[in-house]
Amino acid sequence: MIRIIDITLPFDHKEEALAKSILERLGIPEHQLLNFTIVRKSIDARRKNHIVAVYTIDVILTNEPELLSRFSQDNRISAGPCMNYQLPTVGKVHGPSPVVVGSGPCGLFATLILAQLGFKPMLIERGKEVSSRVKDVRNFWRTGQLDPESNVQFGEGGAGTFSDGKLTTRIKDKYNHSRKVLEEFVRAGAPEEILYQAKPHIGTDNLVKIVKKLRNTIISLGGQVRFVTKLTGIKIKDSKVAGAIVNNSETIETDTIVLALGHSARDTFEMLYQLDIPIEAKPFSIGVRIEHPQSLIDKAQYGRFAFHRLLGPAEYKLVHHCENGRSAYTFCMCPGGEVIASSSESGGIVTNGMSRYSRNKSNANSALLVGVTPQDFGSTSPLAGIEFQRRWERKAFETGGNNYFAPVQLVGDFISGRPSNSLGEVCPSYTPGVTLCDLAECLPGFVVEILRLAIPQMDKKLKGFARNDAVMTAVESRSSSPIRIVRNETLQSPAIKGLYPAGEGAGYAGGIISTAVDGIKIAEAISSKTLKATV
């Protein structure tokens, strides 16, 4: 197999143009090209009048060795790398089942790999199975009645179940871990295009079905999955895990616990802290969701090709570095999506964004964030970042009217420092409702200052970003974990053998793919113990 990179064609090229391009690049007749697969396809819209599709292709040819030597000086043509993930070798699997805590992408993939390796893992999840969870979340969005154990953060599938399901990641994929995640998603029903699109997304509608299928696969391989089962304590003997205490009442015997808790398990973080498990405060970000008409983003990004069916709704990513060293940036942009109520704690507002696979809603939204560091938290406690988040989430709740209505302000008013008292053309998508206000009441002063500087600068890169009636909804406080649960080179807590902090909550990954990959690495680390035991 030979890999060819940088095959560039007009984005609306005819299907047969790709094969023609391959033949031209290689200078070969048609009969020598036996097959080809698209490995990656990205859209380059930097030149608005000349939007192109850029491909990486693996080809199978009749005369590969000869061609490889002919193109040995061309770094766009090389031998195709292996793209298969290899499960690690395991020794004899015995002893009690590993317990994986949390069914987000990290916990799901840790459990799946352990099950594929012949362990009989037990996955425990504090929230409900996904169908019941969807009902609870919809009820919250409709009525403002929050279930603190079944919401956008807690329940089967974890935080990413209600999301755009963007599968982009910046992590390198030397061992094909990301590929493994994508392939398992496709096996569970995700569209095949995620295997090659440069910016793949699944959408909430597909994610709900996919997590259910992954659960069934785990069970079919001998794993167990328990819902409404919260880790409330850890039995420790001689600095080793001896059991998982759940729901304050039952002890599950195990010598291995994977903590795939996500970033919102505040009560569990407190419990770990009380057990003297090493935890550090870590930087994260805070800010708002910003909404614009999707049509504005499409025109700004695609010019005359805006609304072309082959391009879909456009995305953006913006950053502005201020002179004082702080930066503002957009994050987790959801084209054609909705701003959603993502609280998990009573009396606090948390915003986030999601889209369906079709991304067909009228607004685009994105987090607009400013980084914060432990120096901003006002305390040296490892859990100080949680208190910081909580403080601003509660202020947003009060500003919104103490009923889970989110505080909103129009961009023009925000920049001028006056409260908003009416909406413009952009209709906020957040439910159960919004309250017009002055966001300076529920954001740290330095965040307000940085955003006021950054938004007009961002408008220079994306025309219309600072449009007066764009809507800002507060507060986006859970973009990543406020803590790190320390782990050593064996991926275990240095204090407790058999305890594996993992994923976003532990502060080692963020986003669906990177947390799922972290889960795979944890499963590999657990399996490597069986080899040592066998030797």
Ligand X SMILES: Cc1cc2nc3c(=O)[nH]c(=O)nc-3n(C[C@H](O)[C@H](O)[C@H](O)COP(=O)(O)OP(=O)(O)OC[C@H]3O[C@@H](n4cnc5c(N)ncnc54)[C@H](O)[C@@H]3O)c2cc1C
The CA-based dihedral angle spanning residues 170, 507, 149, 513, taken in that order and rounded to the nearest 10 degrees = 20
Which of 56, 61, 77, 105 lies at the binding interface for ligand X (CB under 6 A)?
105
SS3 letters for 339-361? EEECCCCCCCCCEEEECCCCCCC
The amino acid sitting at 317 is K
Closest CB to ligand X among 18 and 272? 272
Range list of β-strands (E), 102-246: 122-124, 224-226, 231-237, 240-246
The amino acid sitting at 376 is D
Closest CB to ligand X among 67 and 234? 234
Is residue 411 classed as helix, strand or coil in its secondary structure? helix
Q: Report the nearest approach of ligand X to the CB of residue 63 (Å).
A: 42
Examine residue 330 and tell whether it contacts ligand X (CB under 6 A).
Answer: no
Q: Report the nearest approach of ligand X to the CB of residue 417 (Å).
A: 30
Q: How far apart are CA 315 and CA 335, in angstroms?
A: 6
Examine residue 155 and tell whether it contacts ligand X (CB under 6 A).
Answer: yes
Length of the chain measured in residues:
535
The amino acid sitting at 496 is I
Range list of β-strands (E), 108-165: 122-124
Per-residue x/- track, 497-526, ligand X (CB under 6 A): ------xxx----xxx--x-----------
Q: Report the nearest approach of ligand X to the CB of residue 482 (Å).
A: 13
Examine residue 162 and tell whether it contacts ligand X (CB under 6 A).
Answer: yes
Q: How far apart are CA 445 and CA 76, in angstroms?
A: 50
Q: How far apart are CA 348 and CA 236, in angstroms?
A: 34
Examine residue 354 and tell whether it contacts ligand X (CB under 6 A).
Answer: yes
Q: How far apart are CA 260 and CA 159, in angstroms?
A: 11
Examine residue 154 and tell whether it contacts ligand X (CB under 6 A).
Answer: yes
Examine residue 102 and tell whether it contacts ligand X (CB under 6 A).
Answer: yes
Examine residue 260 and tell whether it contacts ligand X (CB under 6 A).
Answer: yes
- Measure Cα distances from 496 to 216, 298, 349, 363 in Å: 31, 51, 35, 48
Is residue 40 classed as helix, strand or coil in its secondary structure? strand
Examine residue 125 and tell whether it contacts ligand X (CB under 6 A).
Answer: yes
Task: Give how many residues touch ligand X by CB under 6 A.
Answer: 41
Examine residue 158 and tell whether it contacts ligand X (CB under 6 A).
Answer: yes
Q: Residue holding tokens 């307000």?
A: 448
Which of 4, 53, 55, 103 lies at the binding interface for ligand X (CB under 6 A)?
103
Give the binding range for ligand X (CB under 6 A) out of 79-87, 147-155, 435-443, 484-492. 147-155
Give the binding range for ligand X (CB under 6 A) out of 11-19, 45-53, 136-144, 262-270. 262-270
Examine residue 101 and tell whether it contacts ligand X (CB under 6 A).
Answer: yes
Examine residue 487 and tell whether it contacts ligand X (CB under 6 A).
Answer: no
Verify cis geometry, omega within 30 degrees of 0, for the bond prior to 319. no
Give the binding range for ligand X (CB under 6 A) out of 4-12, 56-64, 151-159, 292-300. 151-159
Whether the CB-CB separation of 51 and 302 falls below 8 Å is answered with yes
Q: Which long-range contacts (CB under 8 A, 24 or more apart) does 35-38 make?
A: 35/59, 35/60, 36/60, 38/196
Per-residue x/- track, 208-247, ligand X (CB under 6 A): ----------------------xx----------------
Q: Count other C-beta atoms under 10 Å from residue 91's C-beta.
A: 14
Examine residue 437 and tell whether it contacts ligand X (CB under 6 A).
Answer: no
Q: Report the nearest approach of ligand X to the CB of residue 457 (Å).
A: 25
Which of 61, 128, 147, 165 lies at the binding interface for ligand X (CB under 6 A)?
165
Examine residue 359 and tell whether it contacts ligand X (CB under 6 A).
Answer: no
The amino acid sitting at 20 is K
Q: Report the nearest approach of ligand X to the CB of residue 262 (Å).
A: 2
* Chain contacts with ligand X (rule: CB under 6 A): 101-107, 124-127, 152, 154-155, 158-160, 162-166, 230-231, 260-262, 265, 268, 332, 340, 342, 352, 354, 503-505, 510-512, 515
